[in-house]
């Protein structure tokens, strides 16, 4: 079962192009810092602005750089079932360990439409499928009943839950059972999600604080709830302010400060405001990722 701190990877750009070397170095750093898994080509990776060729290439680069050290859960979501099926087949062919498939955005399918979409994706390849339920972005919310129905399909194995509704893991565990993988998609509630039966978090904050995010998850799994809470408290300013504007704008700015990659975004994403930059800098200081003199950047290890 997938568990722990799984990073929803940013995609570095330079001059409008994917910064390939930077990306692979970033992936390797993530593994070395203790991340328990990686997700390329999710929303945080600006997948809606990647061409199909770029999407496939980023997935392949991630798998290559990871070299089987941790699971790679490839983003394969689309509001087109045919496109999601194609991305799922590719992820399976190039060696991904699972795919993350978002509920179709903009179309606003019914619960039956959601069921048939995921049924088709699961039938496309013999690879574990994780449902990505994020009503704030997709404008549809998969019901617990639909998820339980989908969980009966052998290779639909879990959910990334970005509802911030902490009753969801309780209800899903009761409706489906303990074998269904429950992953939070909300950094701020990640620890509470674990307390309600979750197994881990697909994290934005882990892009810039992978060791700390992994330590929270490890502490919880080791039964050290006090340490987990202390670490979570340390990270909370980042969990809040990395969403002061639409993600991944703030986290890419933080990555730039830490010297991990440029803060470049693709339209319609634009550079964050000076006010948000100031918030991110303060959060980085509060979490111990940079010194008080913000000209002396350093990554925490």
Instruction: Indicate if the pLDDT at residue 293 is higher than 80.
Output: no
Told to judge if 68 belongs to the known catalytic residues of this protein, a careful annotator would answer no
SS3 call for 239: helix
Per-residue confidence band for 291, with pLDDT thresholds at 50, 70 and 90: confident
Strands 17-18 and 13-14: antiparallel
Report the alpha-carbon distance of residue 33 to residue 93 in Å, rounded: 28
Interval 112-150: pLDDT, tens: 999 999 999 999 999 999 999 999 999 999 999 999 999
115, 132, 193, 253: the active-site residue: 132
- Percentage of the chain exceeding pLDDT 90: 96
The first and second tokens of residue 298, run together, are 């350093």
The first and second tokens of residue 130, run together, are 């994780």
Greatest CA separation for the chain: 54
160, 252, 277, 279: the active-site residue: 160
Give the domains, in start order, of the chain with CATH numbers: 4-222 (3.20.20.70)
Per-residue confidence band for 1, with pLDDT thresholds at 50, 70 and 90: confident
- What's the pLDDT at 224? 98
Told to judge if 253 belongs to the known catalytic residues of this protein, a careful annotator would answer no
Report the alpha-carbon distance of residue 149 to residue 271 in Å, rounded: 42
Mean pLDDT over 21-49 rounds to 97
Instruction: Indicate if the pLDDT at residue 301 is higher than 50.
Output: no
Instruction: Indicate if the pLDDT at residue 298 is higher than 90.
Output: no
pTM of the predicted model as reported, rounded to 2 decimal places: 0.96
State the angle between helix axes of 111-124 and 81-93 in degrees (0 to 180), rounded to the nearest 10: 30
β-sheet with 4-8: strand ranges across:
37-39, 4-8, 200-203, 181-184, 156-161, 129-133, 98-102, 73-75
Report the alpha-carbon distance of residue 160 to residue 130 in Å, rounded: 7
């Amino acid at each position: 079962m997938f568990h722990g701190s799984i990073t929803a990877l940013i995609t570095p750009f330079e001059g409008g192009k994917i910064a390939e070397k930077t990306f692979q170095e970033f992936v390797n750093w993530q593994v070395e810092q203790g991340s328990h898994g990686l997700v390329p080509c999710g929303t945080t990776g600006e997948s809606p602005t990647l061409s199909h060729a770029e999407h496939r290439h980023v997935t392949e680069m991630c798998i290559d750089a990871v070299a089987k050290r941790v699971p790679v859960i490839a983003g394969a979501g689309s509001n087109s079932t045919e496109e999601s099926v194609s991305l799922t087949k590719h992820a399976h062919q190039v060696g991904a360990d699972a795919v993350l498939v978002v509920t179709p955005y903009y179309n606003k399918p019914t619960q039956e439409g959601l069921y048939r979409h995921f049924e088709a994706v699961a039938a496309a390849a013999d690879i574990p499928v994780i449902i990505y339920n994020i009503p704030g972005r997709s404008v549809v919310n998969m019901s617990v009943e639909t998820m339980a129905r989908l969980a009966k399909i052998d290779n639909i194995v879990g959910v990334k839950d970005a509802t911030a509704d902490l009753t969801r893991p309780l209800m899903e565990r009761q409706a489906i059972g303990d074998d269904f993988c429950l992953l939070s998609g909300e950094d701020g509630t990640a620890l509470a999600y674990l307390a309600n039966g979750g197994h881990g978090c697909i994290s934005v904050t882990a892009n810039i604080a992978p060791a700390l995010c992994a330590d929270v998850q490890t502490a919880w799994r080791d039964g050290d709830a006090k340490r987990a809470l202390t670490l979570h408290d340390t990270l909370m300013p980042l969990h809040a302010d990395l969403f002061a504007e639409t993600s991944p704008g703030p986290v890419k700015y933080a990555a730039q400060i830490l010297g991990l990659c440029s803060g470049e975004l693709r339209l319609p994403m634009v550079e964050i405001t000076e006010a948000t930059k100031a918030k991110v800098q303060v959060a980085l200081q509060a979490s111990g990722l940079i010194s008080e003199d913000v000209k002396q950047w350093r990554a925490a290890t």
